[in-house]
Amino acid sequence: MNVLRRVAALMRRELASYFFSPLAWVVLTLFLLVQGYSFYIYVQLVNRPDGPHGAVMQYFFGGTFLYWLFVIFIVSVITMRLVAEERRSGTVESLMTAPVSEAEVVLGKYLAALLFYAFLWLPTLVYVVIVASLVSPVQLGWGPVVAGYLGTIGVGSACIAVGLLASVLCRNQIVAAVLSFTILSLLLLLGALELFVTRPLLRSLLEQVNLFEQMDEFARGIVDSRRLVLYLSLVVFCLAAATKALEAKKWR
């Protein structure tokens, strides 16, 4: 119970720093502006006579490259300061001398970033209400909507873990953001290599890590447990690596 209380305290501390930071509100405003404009474009697109067939929310959840570009950008921004800024300012030393372990620090910061990421998506439920008021429940498809949000949180949880690891490895938060953005972009493009590979085994492997395909499945209401296991595995690996890296830097 003491461990849980310490993690919860660290999480609350980090979460409060988000909401008291001007950058967090700039990120929230930018996020809602881009997502609102994207939603408007998708509505106009599917309403055209020559427009593509499909539900608006299906395009909203990973149907275009804009979704991925913005998710990667947002994750890189909200994770860049988690440890890098504390190392730069020197406050990480006082944090490490407190009666908390490195694993508790990593977990507390990770949960705070994940909650803030989920908070960013909360206002987008208004778009669901708008669509629900315009079409029948059958046309809307509540299953794909719920699965779309589940996939978005699942992908986000894995990306935030990568961003946290980048923040632990870097002293400068801008460098941490660039490193996180680069790694996540490479992971995103890795699945796209499936189109250019002919070997069945390698093609099958790339298919399993194809984020485009995974979010397309979620947006169509398909929840594959293998995808969730993949995200969980990436989270556990990155958090473990971040903990070890933080332990190593403690003695430098």
Q: What 8-state DSSP symbol labels residue 53? A: P
**Range of weakest confidence among 43-52, 129-138, 209-218:** 43-52
**Contact (CB, 8 A) for 179 and 162:** no
Band of the pLDDT at 234, cuts 50, 70, 90? very high
Q: Which pLDDT does position 44 carry in this prediction?
A: 72
Q: Which pLDDT does position 251 carry in this prediction?
A: 47
Band of the pLDDT at 103, cuts 50, 70, 90? confident
The percentage of residues in the chain with a pLDDT greater than 90, rounded to a whole number, is 20
Dihedral, 129, 133, 139, 142 alpha carbons, nearest 10: 30
Residue of 65, 69, 67, 66 whose CA lies nearest to 77: 69
Q: Which pLDDT does position 40 carry in this prediction?
A: 77
pTM of the model: 0.87
Angle value at C-alpha 192, between 186 and 195, nearest 5 degrees: 150
**Contact (CB, 8 A) for 128 and 141:** no
Three-class secondary structure of residue 63 per DSSP: coil
Q: Which pLDDT does position 66 carry in this prediction?
A: 75
Q: What 8-state DSSP symbol labels residue 221? A: T
Q: Which pLDDT does position 156 carry in this prediction?
A: 92
**Contact (CB, 8 A) for 15 and 115:** yes
Q: Which pLDDT does position 222 carry in this prediction?
A: 82
Mean pLDDT of 110-134: 86
* CB atoms closer than 10 angstroms to residue 3: 12
Q: CB-based contacts of 10: which residues, under 8 Å, 6+ apart? A: 100, 104, 105, 107, 108, 109, 112
pLDDT in tens, 22-77: 877 888 888 888 888 877 777 776 666 554 555 666 667 766 677 888 889 889 99
- Quote the tokens at residue 21: 């930071």
User: Taking all residues of the chain, what is their mean pLDDT, rounded to a whole number?
Assistant: 80
Q: Map out the domains of the chain as residue ranges.
A: 2-250
**Range of weakest confidence among 32-46, 54-68, 120-134, 168-182:** 54-68
**Contact (CB, 8 A) for 45 and 51:** yes
Q: Which pLDDT does position 27 carry in this prediction?
A: 82
Q: Tell me the C-alpha distance between 207 and 60, whole Å.
A: 22
**Contact (CB, 8 A) for 151 and 224:** no
**Range of weakest confidence among 48-57, 78-87, 107-116:** 48-57
Q: Tell me the C-alpha distance between 33 and 93, whole Å.
A: 38
Three-class secondary structure of residue 50 per DSSP: coil
Q: Alpha-carbon torsion 144, 47, 45, 77, what sign?
A: negative
